[in-house]
Copies of this chain bind each other. A is one copy, B any other.
């Protein structure tokens, strides 16, 4: 008799359920639900391009739809399948995506008073409205609590928990007033599934807490009240409404609540794991282990490594976070990332590629890929920066923008497309260099996510630019697979699951393809990378003279002034 686990993956535009066979990691059924709210699931504001929110009602619809779909499919296609055999559920989500909740743990946007108020919704990871608040937090921590910054690369980001709370407090006091707690989506969904949504008992993920909320056992949990009060008078009171403990995802959040078991057609004995972020669970699904860098390449990119406790680990400037247990219990999790990768290509194809390349975006992607594959490194004369959505690692600066250099009157769209892919590869190499520079050896790179599977050109360029082999994970859905692995561990060995994450990884993960670097291409790219680095430093770092550090920021400041005045 086989046992099964479910991985639930909540992305930016859709969510997915994946049913996995515990014995070999086979992915038996999968279902995707596109969020109905906003623009492809994201609530935006034409007057403020920094704003990105989400409607949590979409998650409820998504769980019911996708789980019923995969269970239905399993019933149809697997002999003797019984939903009772689904022993565990794991959950991964985007993050930091916090939302304010009431005293029952319900989203404040479910309250009639706040139903159209974006401040009462989920503040999606890519919401950049809080850039000024992030700078305040970094500034204050640098003065008062330098240790808070050490594990997060030295700069607190506008994408993170406290920046968003601070902005919520300052710009929507009526919503803040009604806030009983603030919960990350990755904590809220397991709480919902187990029926334990009261803020006081929600199990919080150490992944979210440690990487985004400056939580550490070293200083007794979240930032202390004095610090929060100094940040904003009154904010200190929120601390008691949050949490003092955080758990790794091999822990069980609880068992499926009867109402959900009934609605989804599953057993009440199904274990639900503590949630975590998609990248971290994706890394587990891709087989992360010490020395392996997992790159999850999607709309944005996350780079994840783990480092054993017994190995000396320095703080790494500009790398988003080092958190004990955030990926696998017993290891430090290291997280870095690029704010936009697939999103840049999508923007380009949707906006700047004529129909001569194809009448649908998919066809245009195919044609661009085909034409760009014919080009040699350096042939186009183009060089781009991959900062259309800011830079997460190693500059940690959302006030940066895209740049394209070298266009002539002969430049063609597929040349630009290739230069954009190359830009993201240079950005990836900056991260690799920084991690190794600080003593963490990278012996293997495993890529996962849609682009790793769908774009051989992208993978070859990554191999050529980094000069390293690029392996591609066996699964196309590593976050959901990683979530399923945690579901299996949360169920435990006695219930047919696994005792440890490593045990589960051994049978449930693997790679499929390896792209080897071409040395001639690498030699040309080394010259281009030097130029990329020159632009990177000129526009991205304050220098003692002659730099252009102000240029992108001044343009954004002016843009925001003009838009606000309109």
A contact set with B: CB distance below 8 Å: 49, 340, 343-344, 347, 351-355, 376-383, 388-389, 401-413, 416, 524, 527-528, 531, 534-535, 538, 543-548, 550-552, 554-556, 558-559, 561-563, 566
Instruction: Report the separation of the CA atoms of residues A343 and B566 in the bound assembly, to the nearest whole angstrom.
Output: 32
Q: Please classify the interface of chain A as helix (H, G, I), strand (E, B), loop, or mixed, using the class held by over half of its residues.
A: mixed
**A347 near B411 (CB under 8 angstroms)?**
yes
What residues on B are CB-neighbors of A543 within 8 Å?
546
**A527 near B402 (CB under 8 angstroms)?**
no
**B401 near A551 (CB under 8 angstroms)?**
no
Beyond contacts A351-B354, A389-B409, A534-B550: 8 other A-B pairs, Cβ-Cβ < 8 A, are: A340-B409, A352-B354, A378-B562, A381-B555, A389-B408, A401-B408, A406-B556, A546-B546
**A558 near B524 (CB under 8 angstroms)?**
yes
**A355 near B354 (CB under 8 angstroms)?**
yes
Closest to A353 in B: B354
Residue of B352, B376, B563 touching A413 (CB-CB under 8 A): B352
**A562 near B406 (CB under 8 angstroms)?**
no
**A407 near B402 (CB under 8 angstroms)?**
yes
8 tightest Cβ-Cβ pairs between the two chains A and B: A546-B546, A381-B559, A402-B407, A378-B562, A378-B558, A352-B352, A355-B355, A401-B406
Instruction: Report the separation of the CA atoms of residues A535 and B555 in the bound assembly, to the nearest whole angstrom.
Output: 12
Residue of B352, B401, B412, B562 touching A377 (CB-CB under 8 A): B562
Known contacts A379-B562, A566-B379: does B403 contact A404 (CB below 8 Å)?
yes
Instruction: Report the separation of the CA atoms of residues A402 and B380 in the bound assembly, to the nearest whole angstrom.
Output: 13
Known contacts A354-B352, A538-B546, A546-B546: does B401 contact A405 (CB below 8 Å)?
yes
What residues on B are CB-neighbors of A409 within 8 Å?
340, 343-344, 347, 388-389
What residues on B are CB-neighbors of A405 within 8 Å?
401-403, 551-552, 555
- Output the least CB separation between A247 and chain B (Å): 34
**A558 near B528 (CB under 8 angstroms)?**
yes
Instruction: Report the separation of the CA atoms of residues A404 and B383 in the bound assembly, to the nearest whole angstrom.
Output: 11
Instruction: Report the separation of the CA atoms of residues A164 and B561 in the bound assembly, to the nearest whole angstrom.
Output: 50
Known contacts A379-B566, A531-B551, A559-B378: does B410 contact A402 (CB below 8 Å)?
no
- Pick 8 A–B contacts, CB within 8 A, sort by A: A340-B409, A351-B413, A378-B558, A388-B408, A402-B404, A524-B562, A527-B558, A546-B546
Closest to A538 in B: B548
Instruction: Report the separation of the CA atoms of residues A150 and B350 in the bound assembly, to the nearest whole angstrom.
Output: 50
- Output the least CB separation between A514 and chain B (Å): 26
Instruction: Report the separation of the CA atoms of residues A566 and B545 in the bound assembly, to the nearest whole angstrom.
Output: 40
Instruction: Report the separation of the CA atoms of residues A546 and B563 in the bound assembly, to the nearest whole angstrom.
Output: 33
What residues on B are CB-neighbors of A377 within 8 Å?
562
Instruction: Report the separation of the CA atoms of residues A377 and B49 in the bound assembly, to the nearest whole angstrom.
Output: 17
- Residue of A377, A383, A408, A547 ringed by the most chain B CB atoms within 10 A: A408
